[in-house]
Copies of this chain bind each other. A is one copy, B any other.
Amino acid sequence: MAFDYSPLLSAAAPPPAVRWSGFPRYNFVGGHNDSGAVPVDDFIEASRRVLAREGHNLATYGLASGPQGYRPLREFLASSLERRCGMRQTADEVLVVSGSLQALDLVNDVLLEPGDMVIVEEATYQGTLQRYDRLGVRYIGVPVDEDGIRMEALSGTLDRLKSVGIRPKFIYTVPTVQNPTGSVMPEDRRLELLRLAYAHGVAIFEDDCYAELTFDGTRPRSIRALDDRGQVIYCGSFSKTIAPALRLGYLVADWDILSRLIAAKRDAGTGALEQMVLADYCVSHFDDHVSRLRGVLKEKCDAISDALAAEFGTAAEVSVPKGGIFIWVTLPESVDTMKLFQAAMADGVAINPGAEWCADPSTGRNKLRLCFGHPSVADIRAGVARLADICHREFGLPERSRNVGRGE
């Protein structure tokens, strides 16, 4: 007789996971990266070097670096972030975390309680929205354009909230290679964003996980770099630049709030072997690696843009991303991408339906996100072709593919 756990479950217990059955044939979801780009030989060499030098420190929690993470990794980050996006900090203002998802959790733990309000980009990262939903935190999405958050809309939203006595806790933004639109916010908007945050006493949570992946290789100064009041909590990750299965991200913030985030991190540290290997690797290889990776991803981005144009023609409106690993596609109003997602999944094509990536799901009803980092160029072409077939079968669109009309 099996024990029945159901009377013991917390009201907040999630529904059961389904058994994992492998990746779909054409996998356009998840932040997976290019397999060939993983620097395996350099990792082997870094592992050898760093373990020989400091492997015995694995016997202590936190190595010999305390709860903020392996100090050489924090030092690399402090100098790399200064060089690449103008942020000045010491290693003492960096907290290494177990992926940017933990960064989200820590910030939420410290700042949010049920009923609180957060401002997000209208289309934004699903994992962030899911967390607010679970916490009972409300959010308002502000419209974005090809330069990110529209400032007059943000200003209007902040004024409206103020007029009803609501002070949002923070503005969550992905300013550089926005998820999912792939936009990069210009510096004048970043300054305007700061001005509004200062005026309304609202913090900014800058999620910069994709910032190294701009196809032209440049990075604007981060919002945190432009901020002289410590009002920005900054988060980054190695998932997209190195490898997602390494669970390594980081938070940068002034000590006043960083000290709370450190206290909220109750996991006895982030995996030390990964930190050690990555620190050793990054010091000598990071810039060259990311430079190569940008080329690989640009090629795949071109492939998926071309495939979408060929297969969907005018039926697909594409936001051409300025970098990163995903592309945001708008289909005609008659296409419900949640239904497309289900039909495609059954046929071995995984996509992200837009409703799950929008603060107001109805605005994403006919949109979808496609990740192109992992599939090969051949799979990108074949997968988009199959998606067009499925879409035509389910919705009668696109009517033409590869300049040929599809019969009904």
Pair A40/B36 contact, Cβ less than 8 Å: no
Instruction: Please give the count of copies of this chain that the complex contains.
Output: 2
Pair B47/A44 contact, Cβ less than 8 Å: yes
Pair B254/A23 contact, Cβ less than 8 Å: no
Pair A101/B267 contact, Cβ less than 8 Å: yes
| A260 contacts partner chain B, Cβ-Cβ < 8 Å | yes
27 pairs across A/B with beta carbons < 8 Å?
A: A3-B254, A8-B170, A8-B203, A10-B112, A13-B111, A20-B68, A32-B61, A33-B59, A35-B56, A40-B55, A43-B55, A44-B55, A47-B48, A47-B51, A59-B245, A60-B374, A98-B247, A101-B268, A102-B267, A127-B266, A245-B273, A247-B269, A247-B270, A247-B272, A270-B271, A273-B273, A273-B274
CB contacts (< 8 Å) of A166 on chain B: these are none
Known: A99-B267, A169-B8, A245-B62. A40 touches B17 (CB 8 A): no
CB distance from A34 to the nearest CB of B (A): 6
**Cβ proximity bits A243-259 to B, threshold 8 Å, 1 near / 0 not:** 11111100000101101
CB contacts (< 8 Å) of A9 on chain B: these are 110-111, 260
Known: A8-B169, A229-B2, A267-B99. A51 touches B60 (CB 8 A): no
| A262 contacts partner chain B, Cβ-Cβ < 8 Å | yes
Cβ 8 A contact of A57, one of B35, B52, B127, B131: B35
Known: A2-B254, A3-B231, A267-B101. A243 touches B59 (CB 8 A): yes
Interface residues in A66-106 by Cβ distance below 8 A to B read 66-68, 92, 98-99, 101-102, 105
Of all chain B residues, the one with the shortest Cβ separation from A10 is B113
| A1 contacts partner chain B, Cβ-Cβ < 8 Å | yes
Number of chain A residues whose Cβ lies closer than 8 Å to a Cβ of chain B: 97
**Cβ proximity bits A5-38 to B, threshold 8 Å, 1 near / 0 not:** 1011111111111111011000000111111111
**Cβ proximity bits A220-255 to B, threshold 8 Å, 1 near / 0 not:** 000000000111000000010001111110000010
CB contacts (< 8 Å) of A8 on chain B: these are 111, 169-170, 203
* A245-B32 Cα distance, complex, nearest whole Å: 26
Pair A98/B271 contact, Cβ less than 8 Å: yes
* A14-B260 Cα distance, complex, nearest whole Å: 6
Q: 7 extra interchain contacts, Cβ-Cβ under 8 A, other than A35-B59, A246-B272, A270-B271? A: A3-B203, A5-B257, A17-B259, A17-B263, A31-B61, A32-B59, A98-B247
CB contacts (< 8 Å) of A246 on chain B: these are 58, 271-273
